[in-house]
Structure 1
């Protein structure tokens, strides 16, 4: 691959590599993630520096991964024996291609897709973009094979210009970003090992996950000095089943999850107010009862979980807020049942009878304590459930644990149990409260000021990358108390989703995102804007890295 790159312009280098990477489908959860890792390793080994230093390219397998997916690492040194180190990182997996429909056979062929969109009259804007020659189409073109390509091209630049910089650069390419983030989570141990064995001083990590217009007509290019976090709060609702002929004497759990959904889903009042940042409301990702066949009995249990972004709040604060909402939902449902039962009795000339629609509300930690007081060995039960359901989808495994504990409850009554399930993404940002942070922020500001002056580009620095990102796992700001609250309310944390929170906090690498630019990631019209992504972005990262390492 090196021979195809060595005499090309920076834009052509990035385009060649992006095309090469897009051509290999690396859909999350498939062998394609293994194949793309091997392709990236081969590209790296074609560089003369790594032919001479083959041990400076290596892989790290994800433990217990059924596909044998792996992280790819490379390491280069500058002219002097400085321990200042920056990390270039990108994810190498993509979402699937079913959205391409009949175009699935060419979803990884940028040239054929470009020809298609040139003649596609259903969307004039996309057609004009295709005809301009400034856009590349294809699954992963913007999210984020072009980002990987940018880092590879810059790695080659730093190899060929080692006399211009001091310190070290570590490149890493990680799988499994699109759901569980286990690639970068596994990489935390490797980064800590390198720091310990080589005395490295991590200054910054540069991700280049995609950025996009935040609203129609938005031309600003956003630089992010941190990552928003994500929680997956889950609600287990146990009602009171009944025959449909006696429906008002039961307590339908779907009524409760529906009320929870109404109070939480897309509720901007539940988002944090962070000045200058784009904050995203909680979003429903799953809601259904647990009946698996038809009959005329109402449901017994119902499940609901949300995507919940966090920026400065802790998991403990979110849990407290959602518990209050759960109490409100239970109260609202109770009042509705009382009202409808009263009307039912009057319309049918029936005497009122005593019927309760009260519900208890627990956090997972509180519910476990309740069972503990009954003499139930909660930890033994939860461990057994995990051992017997090793292949179960992680979120459903958490629900299976909660359901089994409810079955053991000797004082069972209708209730809501609130807990967390995977994934959990920590939030972090460049605080600017130490010399290292000041150095990085100053380098970023100087470079974008120069770019704005000479190339008339409009930039804006923000704290939190608005989408989910592997950068979340390189630094963590929560306290021990806040982390403890998260783990205590996460069923079998260590076995189901053991995020090494204490190691991440110890690693503490400022994680910035200077992203490639495009539109419609995760859609079949996904495309990357070449002039900015293939030239401006690599130059920005190159200049920021030089300033950071040489300061």
Structure 2
């Protein structure tokens, strides 16, 4: 095994000390610092054209990726492994009075020593075998592991039968502009340098899956993530005559009851199950207080997938929204009838019917009804709205649907289903191609070789369970699945765009071998030193060698 502990620990602390919170100037600073560091490696002083600081494209902020490559000299080969990982972090407001120490691991741990921490963080701190600090786990220790291997092979290219590409990307914690921008360069290098990308290895963090879980996980492929959203309209009324209207908040509440935590919307594949959808926003769209019920409401849900396509998800959610709408009307009628009985008010038959449609269906109906007048109006509305810096892609999409709804001839209550954010594609690594089989075999051999050096089980699973940039190195969806995203995202091509063809063109089998720890994105974020700084780089190294030192099977 390579003796990695002290070097990777030093690199990790160095990276953590760089404040690189997403969407701040720190992202620029760490990219420049990392570029300068790598540029000092002897290999890159002799080959300066093989390392680059590259600004992201189609980004509303100035930030950069760092990309470089080392050519192996052991044997001429085009086989190439990509090592990648993000250098941005989430914020530090949760550190409260220790905010100034969040990026200083040694000082932070000293300060924690004066506090009573919850178990097991207290035991971890006392052991001396854990490192605390913002970004230490997610994922600067993983990035440090990659940098160590990059440096090692830059000094020993004669041990490399093939090539190593390194990508340190920005903006993973928000919009993935970093990895998406890097795809163009990776494609260009594929042609110019004749690289044959055979595997990609991410180093994002892993954690226990349940209390008492002692496994350290390696993931083959990754979960996909969607943000299905609903614009919901009702029939307004004065609150003093509540049963003269249908409150969209009532419909939204029933929709969330139907979808939220519903295991029927968990997606099973390869023996593994996704977490059910959960609501990330639920609100009406009234700008201020009035005694009139809301005209519309807006909800969106986190939705993980393993094997379903975005098209499948739309179809399933259309069915569940129909059930929710029907249940809401049934409950409304029951309560209305009861109120009429106890109040003496006359009962009238409800005029509303269940009505659910996708944005694509609504837009098609509006174009058919209003033609160029509608499309010209919406194009102008897009141009005005896109300049509103206060709107993120999710609220931008909602405003587009709200504006389009005004053109509907039939304005009876409805639920409009659409996507309002980035789709992070799912990746199944099942051995369906020769390169997948080579990578899976290489991983199994690496685990078998390194496991005796570590006391806890190292276990492989099929889907990385968190959102990550792994999603943008390969594509499991067919064209119809991607078209469902494009045609049902109201901000597509205006506020939001992803060239999914770039991903399809690369289509590299991808795995995650990352540091182990707990409380990522929280004040007590920490990593276990032995696994993260010794086992991870050695596992990664074995996979690199196993993949490069063999032909397709």
Shorter-chain TM-score: which interval?
Answer: over 0.9
> Residue 131 of structure 1 aligns with which residue?
126
> Residue 287 of structure 1 aligns with which residue?
282
Task: Please say if 1:480 is aligned against 2:479.
Answer: yes
1:373-430 deviation digits (Å, cap 9, x = unpaired)? 2124454344323211223211111001100000111222211100011121001122
CA contact (8 A) 2:262 2:276 kept: yes
CA deviation after TM superposition for structure 1 residue 547, in Å? 1.4
CA contact (8 A) 1:386 1:397 kept: no
CA contact (8 A) 2:268 2:307 kept: no
Other structure's SS at 2:276 match: coil
1:205-254 deviation digits (Å, cap 9, x = unpaired)? 00010001111111111111101100100000011111011001111000
Other structure's SS at 1:428 match: coil
1:167-200 deviation digits (Å, cap 9, x = unpaired)? 1111001111112111111111111111122221
CA contact (8 A) 2:367 2:375 kept: no
Question: What is the CA–CA distance in structure 2 between the aligned matches of 1:381 and 1:152, rounded to whole Å?
Answer: 51
Give the counterpart of 2:384 among 381, 388, 393.
Answer: 388
CA deviation after TM superposition for structure 1 residue 536, in Å? 0.7
- Can you give the 5+ residue segments of structure 2 that lack an aligned partner in the other structure? none
Question: What is the CA–CA distance in structure 1 between the aligned matches of 2:92 and 2:108, rounded to whole Å?
Answer: 13
> Residue 3 of structure 1 aligns with which residue?
none
CA deviation after TM superposition for structure 1 residue 30, in Å? 0.7
Question: What is the CA–CA distance in structure 1 between the aligned matches of 2:108 and 2:202, rounded to whole Å?
Answer: 27
1:22-74 deviation digits (Å, cap 9, x = unpaired)? 11111111111111111111110121111111111102211243431111101
> Residue 336 of structure 1 aligns with which residue?
331
Q: How does 1:4-15 map to 2 (within 5 A)?
A: 9-15=3-9
CA contact (8 A) 1:476 1:508 kept: yes
CA contact (8 A) 2:267 2:273 kept: no
CA contact (8 A) 1:230 1:425 kept: yes
> Residue 412 of structure 1 aligns with which residue?
411
Task: Please say if 1:75 is aligned against 2:69.
Answer: yes
1:281-309 deviation digits (Å, cap 9, x = unpaired)? 11111001112222211111100001100
Other structure's SS at 2:498 match: coil
Give the counterpart of 1:104 among 84, 99, 106.
Answer: 99
Question: What is the CA–CA distance in structure 2 between the aligned matches of 1:173 and 1:203, rounded to whole Å?
Answer: 19
> Residue 499 of structure 2 aligns with which residue?
500
CA contact (8 A) 1:276 1:462 kept: no
Question: What is the CA–CA distance in structure 1 between the aligned matches of 2:486 and 2:191, rounded to whole Å?
Answer: 27
CA contact (8 A) 2:44 2:51 kept: yes
1:99-154 deviation digits (Å, cap 9, x = unpaired)? 11111111111011111223322424212211111111111010011111111001
> Residue 38 of structure 2 aligns with which residue?
44
CA contact (8 A) 1:117 1:126 kept: no
Question: What is the CA–CA distance in structure 2 between the aligned matches of 1:379 and 1:472, rounded to whole Å?
Answer: 33
CA contact (8 A) 2:138 2:204 kept: yes
Question: For the structure 1 residues 294 and 348, does the alpha-carbon distance in structure 2 shift closer, same or farther, using more than 3 Å as the test?
Answer: same
CA contact (8 A) 2:105 2:133 kept: yes
Give the counterpart of 1:17 among 5, 11, 20.
Answer: 11
Other structure's SS at 1:429 match: coil
1:3-27 deviation digits (Å, cap 9, x = unpaired)? xxxxx95211111111111111111
CA contact (8 A) 2:149 2:537 kept: yes
Q: How does 1:246-265 map to 2 (within 5 A)?
A: 246-265=241-260
CA contact (8 A) 2:266 2:273 kept: no
Q: Which moved more, 1:376-385 or 1:142-151?
A: 376-385
CA contact (8 A) 1:249 1:355 kept: no
Equivalent pairs counted in the alignment come to 544
> Residue 116 of structure 1 aligns with which residue?
111
CA deviation after TM superposition for structure 1 residue 280, in Å? 1.2
Question: What is the CA–CA distance in structure 1 between the aligned matches of 2:119 and 2:400, rounded to whole Å?
Answer: 51
Q: Which moved more, 1:354-363 or 1:324-333?
A: 354-363
Task: Please say if 1:363 is aligned against 2:358.
Answer: yes
Question: What is the CA–CA distance in structure 2 between the aligned matches of 1:330 and 1:179, rounded to whole Å?
Answer: 33
CA contact (8 A) 2:78 2:163 kept: yes
Question: What is the CA–CA distance in structure 2 between the aligned matches of 1:275 and 1:206, rounded to whole Å?
Answer: 21
CA deviation after TM superposition for structure 1 residue 275, in Å? 4.4
CA contact (8 A) 2:231 2:299 kept: yes
Question: What is the CA–CA distance in structure 2 between the aligned matches of 1:459 and 1:278, rounded to whole Å?
Answer: 20
Task: Please say if 1:448 is aligned against 2:444.
Answer: no
Other structure's SS at 2:272 match: coil
1:335-375 deviation digits (Å, cap 9, x = unpaired)? 12211221222222222234423242111111111112212
> Residue 4 of structure 1 aligns with which residue?
none
CA contact (8 A) 1:243 1:296 kept: yes
Q: Which moved more, 1:328-337 or 1:143-152?
A: 328-337
Task: Please say if 1:95 is aligned against 2:90.
Answer: yes
Give the counterpart of 1:213 among 200, 208, 224.
Answer: 208
Question: What is the CA–CA distance in structure 2 between the aligned matches of 1:86 and 1:68, rounded to whole Å?
Answer: 28
> Residue 141 of structure 1 aligns with which residue?
136
CA contact (8 A) 1:314 1:478 kept: yes
